[in-house]
Chains A and B, each alone.
Chain A
Amino acid sequence: MEKKKIIIIEDDAFLLELSSRKLKELDYEMFEASDGESGLAMIQKEKPDLVLLDLGLPKMDGMEVLKEIRRDPKLKKTKVLIFSNYSDRQKVKEGLDLDISDYLIKAHFTLDEVVEKVEKLLAS
C-alpha cells in the first residue's frame, strides 16, 4: 500500500521540525510548509490525506487556506486537523463549520498525543 501523505503547515520552524520529525518516525510521507500560500500550493500539488494546519500564518491565514481547500472540489474531502494556539470559541466554531477533523491547542497536547490523533484519523 502507498504511504499516506501528511502536510504540516506551521510558521514556527522549531515546532515544524519537531512535529515533522515525530511523524516521520512512523510510516508517513511528510511535507512541510511554513506559510499559508506555499502550504496551499503544496496541498493542491500533492493532494495529501491529512493536513496539520496552524492558524496564525504569514502570507495567508490558516482559516483562509482551509476555506480554499473546502472550495476546491478536488480537495474538498481532505482531512484537516487544526493545530493552533488560538483557543477562542469563535475560531473553533468557524473551523468546525468548515468540517475539520479536530481542533488541537498545541500547548495542551504532547506530540505523542498528537500522533495518536493523527493515526486514528488516518486509520478511519
Chain B
Amino acid sequence: MGMTYAQKEREIQAIRWIIRGRWIILFGAGSLGVIQKVIGASSVNLSPLAIGLILAVSILLNLFYWFSLRRGVEISDVGLRLLSLMQILVDQVMYSFVVYFSGGIESLSFVFYILPILSATVLYRTLGIMIFALVNVLLYIGLIYGELIGTLAHQPRYLFDPGIFRNPDVTISNALLVIATIVLASIFTTFISRMLRAREAEITRERDKVMSMLKRFPDGVIMLDEEFRISFFNERAKEMFQMQHWDSIVGRKMTAQIIPKTFSEIVPSLRQKTKSKEVEMIEIAMGTGPDRTIFQVSTTPLTDASKRTIGMMKVIHDVTREREIDRMKSEFISIAAHQLRTPLSAVKWVLKMIIDGDMGKVTPEQKKYLSKGYESNERMINLVNDLLSVSRIEEGRFLYEFEMVDLDELIKAEASEENHAFTKKNLTFEYHRPAKGTPKVYADASKLRLVIQNLIDNAVRYTPEGGKITIDVERQKEFLSVSVSDTGVGIPKSQQRKLFTKFFRASNVLKMSPDGTGLGLFIVRNVVRKHGGQIDVRSEEGKGATFTFTIPLKKGMTQVKEDEDFKKFMESF
C-alpha cells in the first residue's frame, strides 16, 4: 500500500523533529562525557576513544538522515520507511555501544534506551513500539550475556571493582531492572502514542470532512504550498482542465507542464500569491469562438494557527455562461434603448413644433396639455439614458476620463439648472462651502455631474412644497465630502440597505412618484465607487434624507487601473 501525500509529509516532519532532538542529545552527551572526565576522573573509567568514536558516527548518521530528507516528499516510500526504521534501530544499537563501553552490567547509560522508545512513539503504533522494545531487550541481554561468557571483553565502569560483574545475583537483579524499565517505558509510551493518534485522528476527521466537501465542490479547488507544490486538486478542477486521466498530481509543482496547453493562459494566475491576507480574484479568458471559456480564479491565503502563511487555495469558477448572458442582456438593453430613442425624438420634435405654433395657432389650454405631454416624453428620454448608463456600467463600457475638476463650479452649475424647480416647489436652497475654498478633485466631470444632478433631482422630487434642500461640502483629510440633505419624505429604515441596487424604489415614494426608474442611485453609487469614494445615506422616514458621498482629492485612489483591466477583458470578446 502506497503512502498518501499527507502521511508522507507527516512522517518526514516527525523524522526532522527527531533529527533535531538528536542534535541536542549528542551535544548534551558529548558535554557530559567531558564533564565526567574532568570531575569524575578518579573513579569513573571511560574510554575517550570509544565514546569519541560513537559520538562521531552518530553525528555522521544524523547528517545522513538530514541529507536524505533534503528533497522532502519526493523521497520514495521505501526510502522513507527505511529511514523511519533507522531512526529507532540504529539509535538502539548506538546506545548499546554506549552501555557496553560504559561498563555493561555496571553501566548507568541504559537510561538512554528510553530515547529510541520515545522516537518510536511518534513514528510507530503499539505493535511497532512493542517490537522495538523487544529488540532493545534482546540487544541488552545479548550484551550482558556476551560480557558474561567472555565473548565481549568487559569494560569496567569504575577504576575499582564494585563487585557487580560476574556476580550472578546482582547481574540478574540489575538486568531485570533494566529490562523492566525498557518494557514499562514502552508500555507507557504506547498509551501516549494512542492518545496522540486519537487526537490526530480527530483533526484528520475534521479535515477529511472538509476535504470530501472540497473534493465534490462544484468549483475547481487547488491547494498549493508556498513553493507552489500541489497538495490538493479536486475532481472539478481536473474536469475543467481536462486532466481526468491524471492520478498523481498531488506533490508536483504547479507549472505550465501540468496544465494542458489549451489552458496555459491560466497558469500565471494559479501561480500568483495574494498581496494581502484577503481573497483576491481575477478573470481569465481563454480560447475563441465556441471554445471560449472564462474562468474566475480566486486566491485565498492559507495560514496556520500562528497566522503564518503556509500556502494558498485557488478556487476556479467557470463564468463563461454568466458573462455571455451578461453581455447579451446589456446588448439587448443597449439596442432597445437606441431603438426607443427614434420614436421619442419624433414625439419630442412634433410636440415642440406644435407648442411653438409652427403648425398653426394653438389655444393656451391646448398648449398646457401639449407641454405636459412634452414633459412626460422628456422623462421617457431620461429613462432611456439611465438604461443606457446601466447597460454601459455593466458592460464595463462606461468609460471614465479623469482630470482635476472644480467641484464648486459643478455644484453651482447644477444648482442653477434646478433653480426653476426650487422656485416652482417653493423650496429653500442652501449651499455651504469650506471656508478655505473647495479644493479640486481628481474626477470625471461629466460623471460627477450625473451624481450631483441625480441627488438634487431626488431631493426636489421627494421634498414637499416649502421644504429645504442643503448641500454641504466639507474638506476631509484625503477626501472631499459632499452631502445633499432634504426635508422630504425620507426612506424607511428597512429599505435603506437596498437603496443603491438597480431598479429599487422605496415603498413610500412608489405611490408618490410612480414614474421614477430606480436607476439613479444605482448609477450614482457606481460612479462614486469608481472614483474611489463612498456613498452613504442617513434618513428618518418623514423627516428627510441626507446623502453623503466622498471623492478623493488626489490621483491614484481611483479605480481606473482595475477598470482598464476590465475594459481590456471586455474588449477581448
Determine if A89 and B399 form an interchain contact, defined as CB atoms under 8 angstroms apart: yes
Contacts of A111 in B (CB 8 A): 349, 352-353
A87 closest partner in B (C-beta): B388
List residues of A (39-66) whose CB comes within 8 Å of B's CBs: 56
List residues of A (49-99) whose CB comes within 8 Å of B's CBs: 56, 85-90
Q: In whole angstroms, what is the CA distance A50 to B199 when docked?
A: 87
Q: In whole angstroms, what is the CA distance A85 to B385 when docked?
A: 11
Determine if A107 and B352 form an interchain contact, defined as CB atoms under 8 angstroms apart: no
Give the Cβ gap from A104 to chain B, nearest Cβ, in Å.
10
Determine if A106 and B342 form an interchain contact, defined as CB atoms under 8 angstroms apart: yes
| A15 contacts the other chain (CB 8 A) | yes
Contacts of A88 in B (CB 8 A): 392, 397
List residues of B (483-508) whose CB comes within 8 Å of A's CBs: none
Determine if B348 and A110 form an interchain contact, defined as CB atoms under 8 angstroms apart: yes
Determine if B342 and A12 form an interchain contact, defined as CB atoms under 8 angstroms apart: yes
Q: In whole angstroms, what is the CA distance A3 to B429 when docked?
A: 51
Q: In whole angstroms, what is the CA distance A12 to B341 when docked?
A: 12
Determine if B341 and A112 form an interchain contact, defined as CB atoms under 8 angstroms apart: no
Determine if B352 and A112 form an interchain contact, defined as CB atoms under 8 angstroms apart: yes
Give the Cβ gap from B522 to chain A, nearest Cβ, in Å.
19
List residues of B (338-357) whose CB comes within 8 Å of A's CBs: 338, 341-342, 344-346, 348-350, 352-353, 356
Interface size on B, as a range, is: 20 to 34
Contacts of B346 in A (CB 8 A): 12, 14-15, 18
**Cross-interface CB contact of A108 among B338, B352, B381, B399, cutoff 8 Å:** B381
Query: What 1/0 mask marks residues of chain B from 469 to 492 whose CB sits below 8 Å from any chain A CB?
Result: 000000000000000000000000
| A4 contacts the other chain (CB 8 A) | no
| B254 contacts the other chain (CB 8 A) | no
Contacts of B345 in A (CB 8 A): 15, 85, 106-107
Contacts of A19 in B (CB 8 A): 349
**Cross-interface CB contact of A107 among B356, B381, B399, cutoff 8 Å:** B381
Contacts of A85 in B (CB 8 A): 338, 341-342, 345
Q: In whole angstroms, what is the CA distance A14 to B353 when docked?
A: 14
Determine if B348 and A107 form an interchain contact, defined as CB atoms under 8 angstroms apart: yes
Determine if B384 and A107 form an interchain contact, defined as CB atoms under 8 angstroms apart: yes
Give the Cβ gap from A36 to chain B, nearest Cβ, in Å.
16
Give the Cβ gap from A11 to chain B, nearest Cβ, in Å.
9
Query: What 1/0 mask marks residues of chain B from 154 to 177 whose CB sits below 8 Å from any chain A CB?
Result: 000000000000000000000000
Q: In whole angstroms, what is the CA distance A105 to B348 when docked?
A: 13
Give the Cβ gap from B272 to chain A, nearest Cβ, in Å.
32
Determine if B381 and A18 form an interchain contact, defined as CB atoms under 8 angstroms apart: no
Give the Cβ gap from B496 to chain A, nearest Cβ, in Å.
32
B351 closest partner in A (C-beta): A110
A15 closest partner in B (C-beta): B346
Q: In whole angstroms, what is the CA distance A86 to B388 when docked?
A: 10
Contacts of B358 in A (CB 8 A): 22
Contacts of A112 in B (CB 8 A): 352, 356
In the complex, which of the residues B346, B356, B397, B399 has the most CB atoms of chain A within 10 Å of its own CB atom?
B346
Q: In whole angstroms, what is the CA distance A111 to B388 when docked?
A: 23
Determine if B353 and A107 form an interchain contact, defined as CB atoms under 8 angstroms apart: no
Contacts of A22 in B (CB 8 A): 353, 358
Give the Cβ gap from B195 to chain A, nearest Cβ, in Å.
70
Contacts of A14 in B (CB 8 A): 346
Determine if B353 and A18 form an interchain contact, defined as CB atoms under 8 angstroms apart: yes
Q: In whole angstroms, what is the CA distance A19 to B345 when docked?
A: 11
B353 closest partner in A (C-beta): A111
Q: In whole angstroms, what is the CA distance A56 to B348 when docked?
A: 20
B374 closest partner in A (C-beta): A110
Contacts of B381 in A (CB 8 A): 107-108
Give the Cβ gap from A116 to chain B, nearest Cβ, in Å.
13
List residues of B (55-99) whose CB comes within 8 Å of A's CBs: none
Determine if A110 and B341 form an interchain contact, defined as CB atoms under 8 angstroms apart: no
Contacts of B350 in A (CB 8 A): 18
A10 closest partner in B (C-beta): B342
Q: In whole angstroms, what is the CA distance A22 to B358 when docked?
A: 9
Q: In whole angstroms, what is the CA distance A15 to B392 when docked?
A: 27
Q: In whole angstroms, what is the CA distance A112 to B356 when docked?
A: 10
Determine if A15 and B342 form an interchain contact, defined as CB atoms under 8 angstroms apart: yes
In the complex, which of the residues A87, A105, A107 has the most CB atoms of chain B within 10 Å of its own CB atom?
A107
Contacts of B342 in A (CB 8 A): 12, 15, 85, 106
In the complex, which of the residues A15, A85, A86, A88 has the most CB atoms of chain B within 10 Å of its own CB atom?
A85
Q: In whole angstroms, what is the CA distance A115 to B392 when docked?
A: 31
B334 closest partner in A (C-beta): A88
Q: In whole angstroms, what is the CA distance A106 to B353 when docked?
A: 15
Q: In whole angstroms, what is the CA distance A86 to B352 when docked?
A: 22
Contacts of A12 in B (CB 8 A): 342, 346
Query: What 1/0 mask marks residues of chain A from 1 to 42 whose CB sits below 8 Å from any chain B CB?
Result: 000000000001011001100100000000000000000000
List residues of B (433-475) whose CB comes within 8 Å of A's CBs: none
Determine if B397 and A107 form an interchain contact, defined as CB atoms under 8 angstroms apart: no
Q: In whole angstroms, what is the CA distance A12 to B340 when docked?
A: 12
Determine if A18 and B349 form an interchain contact, defined as CB atoms under 8 angstroms apart: yes
Q: In whole angstroms, what is the CA distance A86 to B346 when docked?
A: 15
Give the Cβ gap from A81 to chain B, nearest Cβ, in Å.
15
Give the Cβ gap from B519 to chain A, nearest Cβ, in Å.
16
Contacts of B344 in A (CB 8 A): 107
Q: In whole angstroms, what is the CA distance A89 to B399 when docked?
A: 8
- By a beta-carbon cutoff of 8 Å, the part of chain B in contact with chain A is 338, 341-342, 344-346, 348-350, 352-353, 356, 358, 381, 384-385, 388, 392, 397, 399
Can you show 22 pairs from A to B with CB atoms below 8 A apart?
A12-B346, A14-B346, A15-B345, A15-B346, A18-B346, A18-B350, A19-B349, A22-B353, A22-B358, A85-B338, A85-B341, A87-B385, A88-B397, A106-B342, A106-B345, A107-B341, A107-B348, A108-B381, A110-B348, A110-B349, A111-B352, A112-B356
- Besides A18-B350, A85-B342, A88-B397, 10 other A-B contacts (C-beta < 8 A): A12-B346, A15-B345, A15-B346, A87-B388, A89-B397, A106-B342, A107-B384, A108-B381, A110-B348, A111-B352
- A-B complex: 6 closest residue pairs judged by Cβ atoms: A85-B341, A106-B345, A107-B341, A110-B352, A107-B345, A107-B381
- By a beta-carbon cutoff of 8 Å, the part of chain A in contact with chain B is 12, 14-15, 18-19, 22, 56, 85-90, 105-108, 110-112
